[in-house]
Homo-oligomer: A and B are copies of this chain.
Amino acid sequence: MGEALKPGAVIGILGGGQLGRMLSVAASRLGFKTCIYEPGGDCPASHVANFHFQKSYDDEAALRQFGESVDVITYEFENIPTSALDILEALAPIHPSRRALEVSQDRLVEKTFLRDLGLEVAPFANVESRDDMDAAVAKIGAPAILKTRRFGYDGKGQARLKSADDATAAWEAMEGAPAVLEGFVEFSCEISVIGARAQDGQVACFDPGENVHREGILHTTTVPANVPARLRTDAVLVAGRVLNALDYVGVLGVELFVTPAGLIVNEIAPRVHNSGHWTQNGCVIDQFEQHIRAVAGWPLGDGSRHSNAVMENLIGADMERVAALAAEVGAGLHLYGKAEAKPGRKMGHVNRISPKG
C-alpha cells in the first residue's frame, strides 16, 4: 500500500464526541488503534478508543505527547485552536489540511472561497461594525440572516432580519463578534453530499441526501433525495470541485439549497457529517470508514448504496422512545453513550432502511 498506514498504526482524533466515537469504531474495523484528545471526561469517543488524553487544548506538553504517540491526526470538529495545530503539525501529518480548516472556520473566508471557485452562494457581506451592518443591509436587502463568522453550529450565533428595521437587534445579538450578512435564499429543499478524497486524489461521493431541520438542528436525512437526477449529479460535481480545490484528504460534507435557478452552496464541513450517518446502514463502507481510509493513505472504499435510507436524529427527550425504536423492523439504532439527555443534545440516531427498488 505504499505509504499507507499499516494495521496497528495509531490514529489521533481531536475531539471526543459522537463523530469521534464512530470514527474510532471505523478505525478499529481496519485494525487501527485510536487516540482521542478531548478535555471532557467519559466522552463518547473514549468508550471505544485505545487511548484518551483528557487534556485541554492549551496544554502544550500534552499536545506534544499526543502528537508523538500517533501516526496521523484527524479531527471531528472544525474549531480547533490554531495554537494547538501549530504544535501538532510539526509532529504528525494532519488530515484534512489546515487550509480546509481555515476555509471552514470562518464564514467569510468560506463564502469567498466558494464564490471564487465559480460556485453559486447566497449574496453575502462582511459585518464587523455597526456601520458595516448598514452597508450590508443596503447591499443585500431583506429578508436576510446575520451569522457569526466563527463558532456557529446547529443554528446558534444567528439572527434573522425580516426587514431593515431588524438591523440593530441583529447586530447586537452578535455581541460584537465579526459576522456575515447573507441574503435569504428561497429554496425548495436542502440536500447534502458527503464526499471523500484519498491521498492519491481519488474522489468518491455518497448519494446525496435530503435534509429536514427542526429548530435549527438536522432532523432527518432521506436517501435518495427527492430531486431530479440532474441535480443529484450537479451536487456530486460541486463536492468534487471543492475537494480538488482544497487538495483535500478525508471526508467533507457539503450542504446545498435546491432553488429554481439550480443549486446554491450553503456551507461545507471538513469532517464526517451528521447528514452522512445513513451510510452506516445503507452502504458497505460508511462515511466514517471512508474518512479513516483517506487519512490513513488507503484507497477509498465502495460507497455505493445497497438500500434506501432515512436517518432520524434522536435529540434530548427522544431518548424516551428508545424502547419503541429498538423493536422497530428495518431500523438500525445508534446511541452515543452520553450520560444526560439535555434538550437540544444529539443523543443518537436511527437509520431506517428499505429495498432500493
Contact = CB atoms under 8 A, between A and B. Distances in A.
Contact of A306 (B302, B323, B355): B355
A16 B142 CA distance: 61
A178 interface: no
A41 to B, nearest CB: 12
Contacts of A331: 284, 302
Contacts of A28: 21, 25, 47-48, 337
Nearest to A333: B30
Contacts of A49: 48
Number of copies: 2
B335 A31 contact: yes
A141 interface: no
A330 B31 contact: no
B327 A299 contact: yes
Contacts of A327: 299
A31 B339 CA distance: 9
Nearest to A338: B31
Contacts of A8: 337, 339
A304 B281 CA distance: 13
A293 interface: yes
Q: What band does the interface of chain A fall in when counting residues whose beta carbon is under 8 Å from B?
A: 35 or more
A335 B46 CA distance: 20
Interface in A290-310: 293, 298-299, 301-302, 304, 306-307
Given A25-B28, A48-B24, A348-B31, A4 B284 contact: no
A229 to B, nearest CB: 20
Contact of A337 (B7, B326, B330): B7
A61 B339 CA distance: 29
A92 interface: no
A123 B31 CA distance: 43
A271 B348 CA distance: 28
A264 interface: no
A321 to B, nearest CB: 11
A285 B325 CA distance: 13
Contacts of A31: 335-337, 348
A334 interface: yes
A329 interface: yes
Interface string A212-224: 0000000000000
Nearest to A281: B284
Contact of A326 (B1, B48, B306, B329): B1
A156 interface: no
Given A31-B337, A284-B330, A4 B48 contact: no
A239 to B, nearest CB: 20
A332 interface: yes
A151 B86 CA distance: 55
18 contacts: A1-B323, A7-B319, A8-B339, A24-B48, A25-B28, A25-B48, A29-B334, A30-B326, A30-B335, A46-B50, A48-B48, A48-B49, A293-B326, A302-B329, A302-B331, A304-B329, A304-B330, A306-B307
Interface of A: 1, 4, 7-8, 21, 24-25, 28-33, 46-50, 281, 284-285, 293, 298-299, 301-302, 304, 306-307, 319, 322-323, 326-337, 339, 348, 351, 353, 355
> What are the 6 A-B residue pairs with the smallest beta carbon separation, nearest first?
A31-B335, A1-B323, A299-B327, A302-B329, A48-B48, A284-B332
